Structure 1
């Protein structure tokens, strides 16, 4: 990076306007030309700009500390691999101080993308992430492949965290294209495979998710990164469950459970037990499903996690027509609902209201179902819209309300097409 680009980067990092930096030194248009590398500032202008940026003149003589960069990269690798938030916080602080103290460090872009990636692990730094990304976007043309890899990875993770799964998957596809002719380190590829598998899983692209998570799992097993291996097995099991390979999914989750039992931490137990319950439910092993769901409840004190499990227990009892037990868990669900903030509770309350209407055999089902369908349609949760439309249609047909039933069968089919992202019947062929 030339002197103008470094001045621009530091000005933006300090959130300083061009007009303010240029004031009394040069006109803003001249500063703009300096920052874009079109002119080299005179010694006098250069010194005044540095002084306003609170940068000592000797900083210009920085040739870059490659040993320090390697030191930070090794720590960065350890933090990303281990997911250790305390280590992430310490490294972030050390990186931040170093960047502050070495404003004209030639490796500054690499240090900035590493700093930004660490911020994603620290919830208190969401505003700083946006600020850093704005700066980094300005310097994409100056970035090498490694820097672009990290910047794109950050953008892909942010899209995923904001539930923009399609955008996230597109970014990760672009990253794989970007690095085709560049040799990334094994740990970087493992991390890319891992986060890509999560993104594709969320977009219901299960086959590619399975391929990627297996690649990540191979590395984590080789490096004996046990927690990361368990994370991969959980993703793999969910993808297998979603593709209907239920017996393989059970084996995968049991393997994750066995490895997890050797850890002192129980952080994965709830998720593993819940997914084992879901697999056995689909296999119609009702007793085993209920056992795993109730084991899952014992492993968590989080109301939202527990409400999800209670909903699954309720569904299981309803499935086997055990009305008394279903009503018992329905009431448990409504009690737990009070502990959730409204933004989270409304999702579960809509599901519970459907089961309440069915279990209490309410005669006026249509208004209840219409309200629930409207909520899930606004959320674009077409799977629930489709299922509940068919449930209502079946109940209406049983009551000999065939005209109404036909309307909701048709509606359910249309929701199913939306879920599959099909816009014309030819796509079904």
Structure 2
């Protein structure tokens, strides 16, 4: 990065306008030309601008800082202790603006996007994206690669998967210009595979997951291999290749056990439970889901998914005592959450079955019709819309309310058509 963009980055970091920095030195228009490399300023002007910013020009970043930066970058793409990650970030944030190389500073600023996403700070990630947006014209190929990748990460976290795919493809286009590690390339391929899966591009998801896993095997990155196997399991389930799906899930589980990775183990249990449920093997589904619910080391979100899945499984085999038990468990877990929107679906599922199991017909009808179905329509959750409109239709049919029953059977069929067209 040249001196103009370097000055611009420090100015933005210090929340100074061009007018603020230029005052008493040059015009704002001339400063704009310097920052955007449209003119070559004298050493005297550059010196005065740097002095006002409180920075000095330096040849590079010392070895210790480079090593710490690389360690922090690596932590952002793997499972690491959040406290340690934050500690290193804070240390770097204190020293990176003290005369380190422009390239190192830009890379640090771009990686902040990923850091804020890992920490769940979506607003700060967006703010960082907006702050860097006016710098992109000065990015080299490596900067652009991470810029596109981390913007894609932001879009993915925001459920904007089409936009995320565009960003990942832009990052992929930079690969032939760069000399990245095999793991770095495979990480992008895995990320693209996940995004294809979210977009229901199943064959593309398989293709990219296979590319990624080929590298992760060679580099002995067993945790990432396990994640690829889970993704392949999901993909093969979707195209009806259940045996291959089960094989991949079990391979993922085995690797998770080798690395003692609880999250991977229970993620495979979650997916095996769903697969067995879809093929009518309720007992096996229940066994897998129970492993997740009883594991206190698993993320709360995963335990709640498993608990609500068990409510459905026990209800479907007419074990109403266990259904009530799991409703109680689900409500207990939900009481520990503080993100209403994130857990709204599970609240709806739990309360729906609670009204059904306690034969509170009026509450069940009004709740599903007035709240649950509108929620599912809004979020285009056609899979659950099929389930709960059918459930409502059967309820009306059992009460000889055939006109209402037909209405919701039609809605269920309409939702199913939307689902298969995805």
- The TM-score by the shorter chain falls in which range? 0.7 to 0.9
Aligned residue for 1:268, secondary structure, equals helix
Mapped partners of 2:345, 2:235: distance in 1: 23
Tell me if the contact between 1:22 and 1:28 (Cα under 8 Å) persists in the aligned partners: yes
Cα gap change, 1:96 to 1:362, in 2 (>3 Å)? closer
Q: List runs of 5+ in structure 1 lacking aligned partners.
A: 423-429
Partner of 2:53: 53
Mapped partners of 1:220, 1:46: distance in 2: 47
Aligned residue for 2:258, secondary structure, equals coil
User: CA offset at residue 190 of structure 1?
Assistant: 0.5
Mapped partners of 1:230, 1:207: distance in 2: 19
Mapped partners of 1:366, 1:18: distance in 2: 61
Mapped partners of 2:337, 2:4: distance in 1: 52
User: CA offset at residue 330 of structure 1?
Assistant: 2.6
Partner of 1:350: 348
Tell me if the contact between 1:165 and 1:199 (Cα under 8 Å) persists in the aligned partners: yes
TM-score by length of 1: 0.84
Q: Residue 141 of structure 2 is aligned with which of 134, 137, 145?
A: 145
Partner of 1:274: 270
Mapping of residues 28-427 of structure 1, within 5 Å? 28-56=28-56, 59=57, 62-64=58-60, 75=71, 78-79=74-75, 82-85=78-81, 88-89=85-86, 92=89, 96=93, 99-102=96-99, 105=102, 108-114=105-111, 116-123=113-120, 129-179=125-175, 184-300=180-296, 303-341=300-338, 342-364=340-362, 365-371=364-370, 372-419=372-419
User: Per-residue displacement from partner, 1:191-210 (whole Å, max 9, x unpaired)?
Assistant: 10122222222233222222
User: Per-residue displacement from partner, 1:276-326 (whole Å, max 9, x unpaired)?
Assistant: 222222232222222222122222365543232121112112222223332
Cα gap change, 1:322 to 1:153, in 2 (>3 Å)? same
Mapped partners of 1:259, 1:106: distance in 2: 38
Q: List runs of 5+ in structure 2 lacking aligned partners.
A: none
Aligned residue for 2:159, secondary structure, equals coil
Mapped partners of 1:401, 1:223: distance in 2: 62
Number of residue pairs matched by the alignment: 417
TM-score by length of 2: 0.85
Tell me if the contact between 1:389 and 1:411 (Cα under 8 Å) persists in the aligned partners: yes
Mapped partners of 2:376, 2:13: distance in 1: 42
Cα gap change, 1:219 to 1:70, in 2 (>3 Å)? farther
Cα gap change, 1:16 to 1:289, in 2 (>3 Å)? same
Cα gap change, 1:265 to 1:381, in 2 (>3 Å)? closer
CA RMSD of aligned residues (A): 3.1
Cα gap change, 1:384 to 1:45, in 2 (>3 Å)? same
Tell me if the contact between 2:146 and 2:171 (Cα under 8 Å) persists in the aligned partners: no
